[in-house]
Structure 1
């Protein structure tokens, strides 16, 4: 048994011929090797060829009164199979050693396989060993030729398979479809996969030859094989991510959305926290409760950027004037967007305004700046000259609304609010943004520029000291307030108050406490935010990690911590919190997943199965990991997924 294991290990380490005994007199039988490597052993010997030491000093043997020795010229006459053993001073048959079955007889019995033939006076016995067309020797030789042809066939399949994997890699990274409407040979619309494979064949002779010489029953280009290869690539990508994660701390982001076929899909991200569970519908509802049952310290932290968006939406819905503003902007967008002529007019006017502003130094140039303009002077646009009365009436109504002081005031108000919150939202969606940095961005005030804007664009400005008159409403039923009070208190202050209220309602007390406590670990300004009491309170939120005894010791440990931090120069350059607590600050990964889902599963691919969608999404989203996976690993995973005709 030990002998068998030693041989198996030796061959398993390397299939090259130098690791196998060359002398036929000391070789083990093929049957003594593990069955899984029989063909590997045979290929190695056939590639090396028969053992023929032509320069050896062959010893003499005595046959009766005559001394004879092996004639090396026999190597030339029987060169494709004849072997000589130096250790046994005997000749053997390579093809019979490799392929002869245990049963059956042939010329000279087992002499050319086991004991070796040594009767140098009987050269004719070599011809007897070869025998007729159906002899054991010739059958063994035919099997050897078939094995080598199979080896070449497998090599061609492997070349074709690697080409297929490379095509799939490209399509997965770009999020492109595989199939075409007609994949027949003469079709002009075979789809991205076959077209790309054809391109590789045109520019690579080896791939072209392998594909053309492949047997008709090789189905490496079939949709089923494509899906298996993509599944293998996904498995290797996932395995790489899990291995990289190792024993590190992690949390879960979870969210759901409906795809193009109105089917509910869920994304799970192992990263910073779990998100959106309270808003989930359908089959995934209650995920937050399930997680909390398993771990009460798995605090729910909703997507910060999403909460900010929800707060702004709530403000727009509550304030009638602001809601009317968004409705008017939506109507204006529809009117302009419905006509190419109107868009061209707007672009032309916009270009003139930008050119004038740049010349006067009123606006700045730069990438992404001043790409659109939404308001013109009276008479700048001529949509009132529509082809029918309905268009003229609609354009007139829009212009009247746009040129009112109230519209301009509300527009500037929300423009300023959205500009502030946009900066915060972008920060919250950055993967590298930490909690303290994100919280420090809310430091702006709203500046009034409405008067200057109205004067520039010739819009009438109401007297701020006069009473405000609400359009279409009786003055007697309303309290008399000035225009200044209406715009400053009833709109501006109310919008700000509602926004603050919405933010306070949506950012729960536990979230706020977590953020404040974690901020105490910030190294900014020589740890100026350090607060021992708050850090102890943070530890109390995790009773499984900190016992009552450990909490008592934590007070002194934190004293030592801050002393070490402040006195050690290695920490002078620290500007952020590193792994103090895995909390969700940026959830862009989840949103990018849903955006990618709309790319992968679109109107033309709306019948994708969930497993196929999952595999395509993982490799598309995790391209940086997918790119590191070698083709060999994908091929081996593909090979092991099911029984294949040949080991690749």
Structure 2
């Protein structure tokens, strides 16, 4: 048991059984692919592959199947790695019914991108550009149009780099923040409770990390006094003239009206989309509800139209050229990036949504959606589906009261299985599953990359790819791994190769 080779074999056995349990949940049904790449601590490019599927109870599941090292990140190489993994588990590419990637050209390319290569194998493998990624890019789009936003992002990034480059400066920042909180508590301005008034860190913004800009701006405002205190100290005590000059420049910039105004404006603007960000990261989020949430964000920006502004007492430049423009640009970016709502596919999914007693149901739009899945609905199935839809909507909307309190497609799928109606209307249930298979965001892939930092860190930077994958899959899918008995793992370990002794 102390042998490294034996330990690695046991880890491999744990991974094998975890993946086997996941595939047992899948039960040979359709699934969607969520794929992304990231560098590990040793600068190796790792590709995480997550399956999204509907289990036997009608629940939406997203499970990490494997993380694979890829030397080449071209679309053809990624496709080969994915297809090799599918073949390894006796799965066919024709079973893929959805794809979700970021906006990289090797993923989303319209000619030779990964999504098109997979669609050549499965015409029904419709692709969705990660909603959360698109949402974050709206700020990037606005910052490229508005000089004031760009200046704010650069300034905060530079200040965080200056303060975060030294442990002493970080300690000074924490001490200052602690003192500020203690004074506020003593004066009764803050209350104590579990999870309240915790010390904040420097949250670095990233163009592709969800909600990071909102958190960055919010923390900067809360820690503003402490940040100024450390910058003042640095401007007086820094050893080099270069560091003193930078600190003084940042200190002066922070205390201008423009920066204060832009900080609060962008925090309020991003607060509107931050709630959408949080919702998109839920594993069971369905695309119909996601589009409704996007529409809510658009409506909130529309309510702040320039033609409805009150008489502000600030300068015309900030009222019109900054405030109004940023709101309009943010709304325009949301409209441009979330234009999928116009497609027949998403119109059909919206019609299946059970919210408000199936008020959006439209049999013609649902039938047009079914036509986009030629591998699942041939001519004979289409006529049967139309008849099933007519009976189904009368049943669930007018007859069976158990379907009156549903909040989305996820609830609908579970209720159909609970009431056994999935066997009464199998083609309708198939459509519901296909709608749920379309991923909203690559949240599960991002969770894998977060876990990757715990498994493969600076002290274990040279671990092999197989050992790394063997550790990561059971770690991330703990709920599946916990249900696997030790006897099953021991048997898999024994069967891997001849052993001198039996465990």
Alignment TM-score, normalising by the size of structure 1? 0.55
1:633 aligns with 2:488: yes
Q: Which residue of 1 aligns with 2:224?
A: 375
CA distance in structure 2 between the partners assigned to 1:424 and 1:615 by the alignment: 34
Specify whether residues 413 and 276 from structure 1 end up closer, same or farther in structure 2 by C-alpha distance, changes over 3 A only.
Answer: same
Q: Which residue of 1 aligns with 2:172?
A: 341
Report how far residue 231 of structure 1 moved. 1.3
Q: 2:281 aligns with which of 429, 432, 446?
A: 429
1:409 aligns with 2:241: no
Specify whether residues 274 and 637 from structure 1 end up closer, same or farther in structure 2 by C-alpha distance, changes over 3 A only.
Answer: same
Report how far residue 633 of structure 1 moved. 1.4
Contact 1:278/1:286 (<8 A) preserved: no
RMSD: 3.3
Q: 1:574 aligns with which of 392, 406, 415?
A: 406
Report how far residue 591 of structure 1 moved. 0.6
1:540 aligns with 2:375: no
Report how far residue 322 of structure 1 moved. 0.3
Specify whether residues 356 and 437 from structure 1 end up closer, same or farther in structure 2 by C-alpha distance, changes over 3 A only.
Answer: farther
SS across alignment from 2:36: strand
With a CA cutoff of 8 Å and minimum separation of 6, indicate the structure with the bigger relative contact order: 2
Aligned length: 393
Q: 2:443 aligns with which of 588, 591, 603?
A: 588
Per-residue deviation, residues 175-214 of structure 1 (Å, max 9, x unmatched): xxxxxxxxxxxxxxxxxxxxxxxxxxxxxxxxxxxxxxxx
Q: Which residue of 2 aligns with 1:243?
A: 24
CA distance in structure 1 between the partners assigned to 2:228 and 2:47 by the alignment: 51
CA distance in structure 2 between the partners assigned to 1:381 and 1:593 by the alignment: 36
1:439 aligns with 2:294: no
Contact 1:277/1:286 (<8 A) preserved: no
Report how far residue 534 of structure 1 moved. 2.1
Contact 2:291/2:341 (<8 A) preserved: no
Contact 2:178/2:199 (<8 A) preserved: no
Per-residue deviation, residues 446-488 of structure 1 (Å, max 9, x unmatched): 699xxxxxxxxxxxxx964xxxxxxxxxxxxxxxxxx32x223
Gapped runs of 5+ residues in structure 1? Answer: 1-219, 449-461, 465-482
Report how far residue 310 of structure 1 moved. 2.2
CA distance in structure 1 between the partners assigned to 2:361 and 2:125 by the alignment: 24
CA distance in structure 2 between the partners assigned to 1:221 and 1:596 by the alignment: 25
Gapped runs of 5+ residues in structure 2? Answer: 54-97, 201-221, 305-311, 414-431
Contact 2:354/2:407 (<8 A) preserved: yes
Q: Which residue of 1 aligns with 2:128?
A: 301
SS across alignment from 2:46: strand
Larger deviation, residues 623-632 vs 494-503? 494-503
CA distance in structure 2 between the partners assigned to 1:353 and 1:499 by the alignment: 36
Report how far residue 573 of structure 1 moved. 2.5
Larger deviation, residues 497-506 vs 562-571? 497-506
Q: 2:396 aligns with which of 555, 565, 568?
A: 565
1:279 aligns with 2:128: no
Report how far residue 366 of structure 1 moved. 7.0
Pick the structure with greater CA Rg: 1
SS across alignment from 1:575: coil
Q: 1:495 aligns with which of 318, 321, 326?
A: 326
Report how far residue 371 of structure 1 moved. 4.9
Q: 2:345 aligns with which of 500, 504, 514?
A: 514
Q: 2:237 aligns with which of 387, 392, 414?
A: 387
Specify whether residues 366 and 646 from structure 1 end up closer, same or farther in structure 2 by C-alpha distance, changes over 3 A only.
Answer: closer
CA distance in structure 2 between the partners assigned to 1:246 and 1:507 by the alignment: 33
SS across alignment from 1:529: coil
Alignment TM-score, normalising by the size of structure 2? 0.69
Report how far residue 386 of structure 1 moved. 1.3
